[in-house]
Amino acid sequence: MSYVGPDFEPAPPRRSALRRPLTVAVAALVPGALAGWLLWQVTGDSEGSAGAGGGTAAPASSSAAAAPAPSGESGEPTAGDGADPTPAEPTPADSAPSAPSSASAPAASGPLKGKVVVVDPGHNPGNFEHATEINRQVDIGTNRKECDTTGTASDAGYREADFTLDVARRLRTALQQQGATVRFTQDDDRPWGPCVDERARIGNDAGADAVVSIHADGSGAGNRGFHVILPGAVRAGGADTRAIVGPSRELGARIAGRFVAVTGSAPANYVGDGTGLVTREDLGGLNLSTVPKVFIECGNMRDSADLVLLSSGAWRQKAAQGISEGIVSFLRT
Ligand code: ZN
């Protein structure tokens, strides 16, 4: 995979003249985003609809998805997650029908042709009904931790697990339009989970070029904005992230930069010191990864202003687009 440094792809001579300017332009996005973040901090404004240079990929037919889901897993507790699961509305017992697919056939063409991206929709709508299963402990290398959590929910019963699936499916379409092969860890096609260790394993076994785990936070009211969670350097038991810390940071920075640009949302005002980037060493989904991986907390479901954004299909489309553009930027570098 080519997460950093020169472009390893044998670009056709005809295009080579374009590649350098493109690379420079992409590199310029990160500082630009940082400047934007500083501005956000000053103004305190975080209305979600800037869509600066976001740009939308040309609509293209998504390639037919096909392979059956690989029994992936979804979420992992993050800062606020799990703290207040608020199972507002019980999930219907039959909420996990066999969904279509979790993997996609490679697109015929596109900048991500040949690249594999694993998308991890945090949690699972069925987790609310399977407390025993998701509460069992699994080995995350550095520690033992619950298999999975329910994720948070709004007071009105909008569940994080439904949010993550929706954003993940939009993201899949966007990435497929860029030519990527996309695999899910779960697509509401299993009753619960998978556990966080299995979620990591799915990305590893796929030989993913990039993995992103989608979440929304469950922090206190007034805490707003998004943040990307990066793996810290850990080495214990089955966990050894030293090789992925660097590329994961690059992946996370690019996703954060494009997320700001496309959604207009600000970096979290309660973690990350305004950078939108947080490093953690306690998440099994990151600790057990051997491929570049980050989490993104798209906003705080327990804050009414953020919830307005998270509840909007149009905003979720922007969120997916921003994440997709960040991944494209990372994989093309
Ligand atoms: Zn979560």
Task: Give SS3 for 104.
Answer: strand
Q: List b or e across 155-175, with b for residues whose CB sees 16 or more CB atoms inside 10 angstroms.
A: eeebbbbbbbbbbbbbbbbbb
What spacing in Å lies between the alpha carbon of 300 and ligand 1's midpoint?
A: 10
What spacing in Å lies between the alpha carbon of 49 and ligand 1's midpoint?
A: 23
pLDDT at 103: 52
pLDDT at 91: 38
Structural domain 111-331, CATH architecture: 3-Layer(aba) Sandwich (3.40)
What spacing in Å lies between the alpha carbon of 124 and ligand 1's midpoint?
A: 10
Cβ neighbourhood burial of 109 (10 Å; 0-12, 13-18, 19+): exposed
What spacing in Å lies between the alpha carbon of 298 and ligand 1's midpoint?
A: 10
Task: Give SS3 for 307.
Answer: helix
What spacing in Å lies between the alpha carbon of 152 and ligand 1's midpoint?
A: 7
Q: What's the per-residue H, E or C state across 191-255?
A: CCCCCHHHHHHHHHHCCCCEEEEEEEECCCCCCCCEEEEEECCCEECCEECCCCHHHHHHHHHHH
Q: For the chain, what are the domain ranges?
A: 111-331
pTM, rounded to two decimals: 0.72
For the segment 36-89, what is each residue's pLDDT rounded down to a tens digit? Answer: 443 333 333 332 233 333 333 333 333 333 333 333 333 344 444 433 334 333
What spacing in Å lies between the alpha carbon of 178 and ligand 1's midpoint?
A: 27
Per-residue pLDDT of the chain (333 residues; tens, 9 = 90+): 333 333 333 333 444 444 444 443 434 444 444 444 433 333 333 322 333 333 333 333 333 333 333 333 333 444 444 333 343 333 333 333 333 444 555 456 899 999 999 999 999 999 999 999 999 999 999 999 999 999 999 999 999 999 999 999 999 999 999 999 999 999 999 999 999 999 999 999 999 999 999 999 999 999 999 999 999 999 999 999 999 999 999 999 999 999 999 999 999 999 999 999 999 999 999 999 999 999 999 999 999 999 999 999 999 999 999 999 999 999 997
What spacing in Å lies between the alpha carbon of 213 and ligand 1's midpoint?
A: 9
What spacing in Å lies between the alpha carbon of 284 and ligand 1's midpoint?
A: 13
Distance CA(203)–CA(212), nearest Å, equals 9
pLDDT at 253: 98
What spacing in Å lies between the alpha carbon of 170 and ligand 1's midpoint?
A: 18
Q: How many beta carbons lie within 10 A of that of residue 326, not counting itself? A: 29
What spacing in Å lies between the alpha carbon of 60 and ligand 1's midpoint?
A: 30
What spacing in Å lies between the alpha carbon of 222 and ligand 1's midpoint?
A: 18
pLDDT at 333: 76
Tokens at 107, concatenated: 């697109």
What spacing in Å lies between the alpha carbon of 122 and ligand 1's midpoint?
A: 5
pLDDT at 52: 31
